Amino acid sequence: MELIQRPRRLRGSETLRKLVRETRMDKSSLIYPVFVKEGTGIKEEIPSMEGQYRYSIDMLEQELEACKKAGVTSIMLFGIPDHKDEIGSGAYAENGIVQRALRMAKEKYPEFYYITDVCMCEYTSHGHCGVLCDHDVDNDATLELLAKTALSHVKAGADMVAPSDMMDGRIAAIREMLDANGYTNIPIMAYSVKYASAFYGPFREAAGSAPSFGDRKSYQMDFHNRREGMKEALLDIDEGADIVMVKPAMSYLDLVADISMAVDVPVAAYSVSGEYAMVKAAAKNGWIDENRIVAEMAVSAYRAGAQIYITYYAKELARMMDEGRIG
């Protein structure tokens, strides 16, 4: 048979397949989420996220050491306070859990890059992402507290802040606050395209952040909507976002692709707790090859256009890169 075009020519060996690979990954593009909580001597496994833990600050060191050994040096910190109140005061307290964790980590592991989640849900007694007016989240009243939280994180040592609350105007409020205090070089990674998703269930257990009433559909996005995601991303960039994020990742790669083609800032994809938990459960039952599934999920996010991948599998992916199984 006289075939001119034979695509299989470029699939004939592992060396050749790697040579012509269209999507390439690097450990430097991975971000690992870590939960820190009050107390001492605590390394507490999260039941719905096997292999993930809540750490007290003194135990956080061993996890940072494990990340360092794996070659993952970008960390996103989530705080779990003991005290919660109506206005989430622990989020912006000078000696809050994230602020103290940052000071320790920056002193002992200064080579790491520290990103902090900026939100109110872990710190409010009602579990919503802002202050309430009756049973509604008061968007504009929340902005000042988010900006105070971001500033307190940066003063404690955060290299980047990542607001996840989905309040309108929060990027502008945070940028103004940081700039007014001399932190013009601190970047903002905006949770720009964040859907009201069932994939967040295990995280809410991990962080103790489930709302005590109602849901978050009045501020997180309707998963039926695509154009709205583009609108949110462009608004955040106009307000000063340096990086935009799509969350969750796996079911929203169309948004990753759309936005990566439309914007001139880096795009991050967050592979969330529900994605992690599903893979863990299926692997535990012997239904899937865990490593192969994890690699395929990660590559799909990069292939769609993400430059940054936030994942609870960061250490495993880094190891697979070292072993040449992906990259």
So which residues are the catalytic ones? 194, 247
**Rounded distance, CA 24 to CA 56, Å?**
36
Structure tokens belonging to residue 50: 């096997």
CB of 223 closer than 8 Å to CB of 195? yes
- Residue 164 phi/psi, 5-degree rounding, is -115, 5
CB-based burial label for 14 (10 Å; 0-12, 13-18, 19+): exposed
**Rounded distance, CA 80 to CA 107, Å?**
21
**Rounded distance, CA 23 to CA 309, Å?**
13
- DSSP, collapsed to helix, strand or coil, labels residue 160 as strand
CB of 226 closer than 8 Å to CB of 305? no
**Rounded distance, CA 278 to CA 281, Å?**
5
